[in-house]
């Protein structure tokens, strides 16, 4: 019995050590990207060669100043300068986006209307982690699609030369969603995660149905069991991207833009 206890203790210590090393490596990787991104940001000429707007909820807000994205884009486009404007606002859903396009928005500070910005590209994230839960699922998904109709038309009318790209963000994890943030039963966590997944999938469907370029991070973030890969999800509230998740999302965006020749 004592021997078994010692073996179990050893396994727990080993797992804890491995996880600790992995976490520290994530932090170190992110720090390196941030430092490189800041260096590149200081070299941006104005106006930059390319100006990209990111619009979404807190999943996009977590990308911060887009230092990782700036690094990857500079690898694909040497000699070009990029500026990224992050309009990812936490606790907002897709219904807020039309107003964000044409009105000043206060989110810690004033943000000018997106359509007043001379951007080359706008990346619209799925807002899937802030579903329209006040409506039955089918009605909510319909409103999501109708709002995307409005948003796409507004952008095309005001910025006909700008590229519109959709982003399907990382998948929620059904077992741990909202971890330490909310006291949910296992059944509730799964229900919440599944609802959010439906909105992300509807965003994907809309992009495919309307021939809009899609960065499909969602499908690439699934584990072997079809659930959100915990490698890409931070381990406190189990909602937002981890440092590895931020690097992953940024790499996917940069690679997609380059491989599909979306910027001249």
- Cα dist. 34→78, 80, 152, 197, 240 in Å? 18, 19, 32, 30, 18
Q: Which helix (H) or strand (E) holds 123?
A: strand 121-125
With a cut of 70, which residues of the chain have pLDDT below it?
A: 1-45
**3-class secondary structure, 247:** helix
Looking at residue 14, its pLDDT comes to 60
Looking at residue 46, its pLDDT comes to 82
Looking at residue 180, its pLDDT comes to 86
pLDDT tens digits, one per residue of 128-157: 999 999 999 999 999 999 999 999 999 999
Q: Which helix (H) or strand (E) holds 169?
A: none
Surface-to-core class of residue 101, CB atoms within 10 Å of its CB (0-12 exposed, 13-18 middle, 19+ buried): buried
Looking at residue 168, its pLDDT comes to 99
Peptide bond connecting 47 to the previous residue in cis, omega within 30 degrees of 0: yes
48-259 is classed CATH 3.40.190.150: no
pLDDT tens digits, one per residue of 103-127: 999 999 999 999 999 999 999 999 9
In this structure, what DSSP letter does residue 166 have? E
Looking at residue 181, its pLDDT comes to 87
For the chain, the domains span 48-259
Listed in sequence order, the DSSP H helices in 174-262 are 186-209, 217-220, 243-259
**3-class secondary structure, 210:** coil
């Amino acid at each position: 019995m004592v021997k078994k206890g010692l073996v179990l203790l050893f396994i727990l210590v080993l797992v804890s050590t491995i996880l600790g090393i992995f976490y520290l490596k994530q932090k170190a990787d992110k720090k390196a990207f941030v430092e490189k991104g800041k260096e590149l940001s200081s070299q941006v000429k104005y106006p930059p060669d390319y100006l990209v707007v990111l619009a979404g909820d807190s999943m996009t807000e977590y990308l911060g100043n887009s230092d990782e994205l700036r690094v990857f884009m500079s690898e694909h486009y040497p000699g070009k300068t990029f500026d990224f404007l992050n309009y990812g606002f936490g606790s907002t859903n897709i219904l807020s986006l039309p107003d964000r396009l044409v009105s000043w928005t206060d989110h810690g500070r004033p943000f000018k209307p997106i359509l007043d910005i001379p951007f080359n590209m706008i990346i619209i994230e799925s807002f899937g982690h802030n579903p329209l839960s006040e409506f039955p699922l089918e009605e909510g998904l319909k409103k999501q699609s109708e709002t995307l109709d409005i948003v796409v038309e507004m952008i095309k009318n005001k910025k006909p030369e700008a590229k519109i790209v959709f982003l399907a963000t990382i998948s929620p994890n059904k077992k741990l969603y909202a971890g330490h943030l909310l006291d949910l039963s296992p059944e509730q966590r799964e229900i919440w995660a599944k609802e959010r997944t439906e909105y992300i999938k509807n965003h994907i469907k809309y992009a495919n149905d309307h021939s809009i370029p899609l960065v499909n991070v969602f499908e690439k973030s699934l584990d072997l069991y079809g659930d959100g890969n915990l490698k890409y999800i931070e381990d406190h509230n189990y909602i937002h991207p981890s440092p590895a998740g931020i690097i992953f999302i940024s790499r996917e965006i940069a690679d997609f833009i380059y491989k599909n020749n979306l910027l001249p």
